[in-house]
Chains A and B, each alone.
Chain A
C-alpha cells in the first residue's frame, strides 16, 4: 500500500504521457586533429571543451584571427592555456586551417 502511494506521488510530478526521464548518448566525431606542430598541446587544451571538427569547419583564418580565437577561449571561457602556449597552438591552427 505504501509503495502504491509513493508510486502515485512520484507519478504525480509529471502528467500522464510525459516522460519521467530522457537520456541520450551522443555520437562522437570521425574527425580527429591531424598531425601538425604541437599536436599534443592542442589535444590537451582544445579537446577539453570542444572537438576537432569545429576547427576544421571554420573558414581559413589569419594568424591574427586564430590568435584572437585562442585568447577568447582563455579570457571568456577560462581555458587554462599558458601564455607561452598561445603562439604554439596558433602555429598548429595555422598549419591546419590558416589563411596567409
Chain B
C-alpha cells in the first residue's frame, strides 16, 4: 500500500502518540556517559537482553555494555549487541511456517523449513566475531553521523547451522551465475524504502565453507533481536553481511546494484581506506573483511573493574593488577598481543588464552605492577595477527565511520 501525504500525517501522528505513552518516565532510566560529545545514553532492558546501551530505540540499535566482554571468551546472548536498519522488521516470527527460499539461476529452487535445515544438511559449528562496520564510530575525530557506537558494537559467539555452500550445492548453481544475493524478513516502514539486502560473488561463497546459515547462537536459538530463526554468519567479514532473519537467497547473473551494496556500506579505495575530511572524487568499494583489533576488558573509566590485587601488607606501596582483554582479526588468528604501561613507548608480550578458532576473540592477560601513588599511567595494547597485520596509532578516517582499529589506550591513576 502506498500512503498519500495526508494518510501519512495521520499514521505518523498515531505512531508518535503511541511512542509518547510507551515509556513516559525518563527518571526511571539509568544513564551511561559514553566518551564522546553527546555521549549520554539510556540503559534499557530489552526482550531476552540485559540492560543495553540504547543508540536508537526504533529501529533498535543496542550497544553491549563493555564490561560484558570481561565475562569470558563468548559474549552472552543477552548482552550481544543489536542493530536493525529498518523499523519494519517483524517482532513476531513463526518458525513453523518460516521458509528459507533459494531461487534464481539454480537447477532446483528450494524452500527450506527450519527442520529441513536441521535434518537434510550436515551441521557445522564455528566461533566467530560479529562486529558492526561502524563499531567505534562515535570515537571518530572529526565526528561523523550514524550509529554513535563506543566500542560495544561487537560480540563473539559459537554459531551452529548449515554451510551456505551446501545449500547452494543442493540447489545447483547454473552456469552464468555471478552473485548470491540475500535478504531477510525485515523491511522499511515505507514500501519504497530499499529492503536490506547484501550480495557476494559466487566464488566467495564456494571458496568459503565457513559461511553458515545459523540456527543456534551459543547453544541456544538466536534471540529475535539477533535474527531468529536463522541468520547468515560470515566469519571475518563485517556484520553488515550477516543478514538476520535470512529468508531469501537468490543466485543472480549480474552484480547486485541495490542501495545497500552500491551506495551504503562502502569504503574509500585508498591507502588504509582513509581519506581527508575535505577529500572528494575518490573511488569506493563495498566494505568487506575486518581489521585486527584488541581491547582491555577489565578497565573502565580509568578504574579496574576486576583484577586489582590487594596491597601486600609487607609492601603496601606496591600495586598490582591483572590487565586482560581480547583480540581478533579477519580470520588469520592472533599471533601476539603486547602491553605497554608507558603510552606505547615500550611493549612486552602478554599471555594468550585458549584458542577457540581463528575467527574468535582471543583472550590475553598480563600482570602489571607499579607503585601506589605514582600517578597516572597510560596503558595500551597492540595486537599482531598471523597475517602480519598489526595495530598502529594511525586512526583511519572515512565519512561513514567504518574500520576503526587503532591502538587503544587507557588512563589509569594509582
Chain A residues close to B by CB (< 8 Å):
10, 12-15, 18-32, 43-45, 47-51, 53-54, 56-61, 65, 69, 76-80, 97
A32 CA to B29 CA, complexed, in Å: 14
Q: Which of B36, B94, B189 contacts A20 (CB 8 A)?
A: B94
A65 CA to B401 CA, complexed, in Å: 14
A98 to chain B, nearest CB (A): 12
A77 CA to B259 CA, complexed, in Å: 9
User: In the complex, are the beta carbons of B57 and A23 less than 8 A apart?
Assistant: no
- The closest CB in chain A to the CB of B144 belongs to A59
B148 to chain A, nearest CB (A): 5
User: In the complex, are the beta carbons of A50 and B87 less than 8 A apart?
Assistant: yes
Contact with A along B31-52 (1 / 0, CB 8 A): 0000011100110111110000
User: In the complex, are the beta carbons of B54 and A29 less than 8 A apart?
Assistant: yes
Task: Give the interface SS of chain A, mostly helix, strand, loop or mixed.
Answer: loop
User: In the complex, are the beta carbons of B59 and A50 less than 8 A apart?
Assistant: yes
Instruction: Note all chain B residues with C-beta closer than 8 A to A47.
Output: 12, 15-16, 19
B116 to chain A, nearest CB (A): 8
Q: A45-B12, A51-B58 are in contact. Are A27 and B145 (CB under 8 A)?
A: no
User: In the complex, are the beta carbons of B259 and A76 less than 8 A apart?
Assistant: yes
A12 CA to B97 CA, complexed, in Å: 11
User: In the complex, are the beta carbons of A57 and B148 less than 8 A apart?
Assistant: yes
A55 to chain B, nearest CB (A): 10
User: In the complex, are the beta carbons of A57 and B56 less than 8 A apart?
Assistant: yes
User: In the complex, are the beta carbons of B94 and A21 less than 8 A apart?
Assistant: yes
User: In the complex, are the beta carbons of B96 and A21 less than 8 A apart?
Assistant: yes
A21 CA to B138 CA, complexed, in Å: 36
Give the interface segment out of B171-179, B190-198, B329-337, B353-361.
Answer: B190-198
A10 CA to B61 CA, complexed, in Å: 34
User: In the complex, are the beta carbons of A22 and B92 less than 8 A apart?
Assistant: yes
Q: How many residue-residue contacts, CB under 8 A, span A and B?
A: 173
User: In the complex, are the beta carbons of A26 and B58 less than 8 A apart?
Assistant: yes
A59 CA to B39 CA, complexed, in Å: 8
User: In the complex, are the beta carbons of A30 and B47 less than 8 A apart?
Assistant: no
Instruction: Note all chain B residues with C-beta closer than 8 A to A23.
Output: 91-93, 224
B259 to chain A, nearest CB (A): 6
A/B interface sample: 29 pairs, CB < 8 A: A12-B115, A13-B113, A14-B95, A15-B119, A18-B114, A20-B96, A21-B94, A21-B96, A22-B229, A24-B91, A24-B92, A25-B91, A27-B22, A28-B21, A28-B22, A30-B23, A30-B26, A47-B12, A47-B19, A48-B8, A48-B190, A49-B87, A50-B59, A51-B58, A54-B57, A58-B145, A58-B148, A69-B145, A80-B5
Instruction: Note all chain B residues with C-beta closer than 8 A to A77.
Output: 188, 190, 193-194
Q: Which of B8, B19, B188 contacts A29 (CB 8 A)?
A: B19
A56 CA to B194 CA, complexed, in Å: 25
User: In the complex, are the beta carbons of A57 and B41 less than 8 A apart?
Assistant: yes
Contact with A along B344-363 (1 / 0, CB 8 A): 00000000000000000000
- The closest CB in chain B to the CB of A56 belongs to B38
> Does B402 lie at the interface of the complex (its beta carbon under 8 Å from any beta carbon of A)?
no
Instruction: Note all chain B residues with C-beta closer than 8 A to A60.
Output: 37-38
User: In the complex, are the beta carbons of A22 and B38 less than 8 A apart?
Assistant: no
User: In the complex, are the beta carbons of B221 and A48 less than 8 A apart?
Assistant: no
Give 20 A-B pairs besides A18-B95, A48-B12 with Cβ atoms closer than 8 angstroms: A10-B96, A14-B113, A14-B115, A14-B118, A22-B221, A28-B21, A28-B57, A29-B23, A30-B42, A47-B15, A48-B11, A49-B87, A50-B56, A50-B87, A51-B57, A53-B42, A59-B36, A59-B144, A76-B263, A80-B8
A26 CA to B36 CA, complexed, in Å: 27
- The closest CB in chain A to the CB of B95 belongs to A14
A29 CA to B228 CA, complexed, in Å: 23
A83 CA to B18 CA, complexed, in Å: 28
B55 to chain A, nearest CB (A): 6
A23 CA to B223 CA, complexed, in Å: 10
User: In the complex, are the beta carbons of B93 and A58 less than 8 A apart?
Assistant: no
User: In the complex, are the beta carbons of A59 and B57 less than 8 A apart?
Assistant: no
Closest 8 CB pairs of A and B: A28-B22, A78-B192, A59-B143, A29-B57, A24-B47, A30-B26, A23-B92, A54-B56
B231 to chain A, nearest CB (A): 13
A35 CA to B295 CA, complexed, in Å: 41
User: In the complex, are the beta carbons of B114 and A14 less than 8 A apart?
Assistant: yes
A58 CA to B188 CA, complexed, in Å: 21
> Does B264 lie at the interface of the complex (its beta carbon under 8 Å from any beta carbon of A)?
yes
